Chain A
Amino acid sequence: MGSGLPHYVQWGPVSITIPNLVVLGLMIVVFAAALVLRLPEEKPGSDHARGARDA
């Protein structure tokens, strides 16, 4: 795919390329953000807001 060899991070028996490590870190950040961040509130009176309230 790309030109040149990727750089690796070595940690004991663990060996991972920098791009894979970045993706793994990003996944953890996105997962944590999805747990913590709240969805914006619906505008009162919208169909979605009514549906969520009635459910």
Chain B
Amino acid sequence: MPNMTGSFRRWLSTVITAEELLPEELPEYTRSFVYMFGALTLGSFICLVASGFTLALFGPEWWHLSSVGHFVNSIHFWSVQCFFFFMVLHLWAQFFMAAWRGGRRLTWVVGALLFVSSIIAAFTGYLSQQNLDSQWIAVQGKDAMNAIGIGAFFNLLNFGQMYSIHIAIMPAVIAALITVHLILVRRKGLVPPLADDAAREGAPHAR
């Protein structure tokens, strides 16, 4: 008798197979530093989550007043610098490679959504610092939010709302989008260089 568990398992096997998700071999054309920016962005995100988890565990007083708190706070800060640094380089590389070729349009769109979501996460992060800088940004930015009509729903002066969005909602949204992005990359295969049409035809695990 059909049930939801079986239906879900069958649907999941149509989304991606284990061989597609975790390939042991990659095409020769990926032996380039240009193809590393996406993985470096993902690595920065893992550092962000780990340091952010520690900051959330101990709270603002700890990250402002203790030497270990300063250190973890700095790791979080530099992780986000690396995250955006490598994400923009990844964006440049994919743009100049026209990476939406070969049925990869949705991968590109999800990447663009990731970029926008990351900006919201970074902005709410700046508002969650609990220092003069975050107060200044909140007071200056609230007028912009009111001007576009979302000030009542997205109140920069409400620390609880900004902090919750930063540590709960945006990480979940970004993690979900990264999962979709990676599944799409694995399903379609890594985009070949523009001049490498022959390699594109022979790209493994592409469908």
Contact = CB atoms under 8 A, between A and B. Distances in A.
Interface residues of B, number: 20
A31 B92 contact: yes
A52 interface: yes
A35 interface: yes
Contacts of A34: 32-34, 36-37, 89, 93
Interface string B15-36: 0000000001111100111101
Given A27-B89, A34-B36, A51 B25 contact: yes
Interface string A33-55: 11101110000000000011111
B89 A55 contact: no
A interface secondary structure, majority: helix
Interface of A: 1, 23, 26-27, 30-31, 33-35, 37-39, 51-55
19 contacts: A1-B131, A1-B133, A26-B85, A27-B88, A27-B89, A31-B89, A31-B92, A34-B37, A34-B89, A35-B34, A37-B33, A38-B32, A39-B32, A39-B33, A51-B25, A51-B26, A52-B26, A52-B28, A52-B31
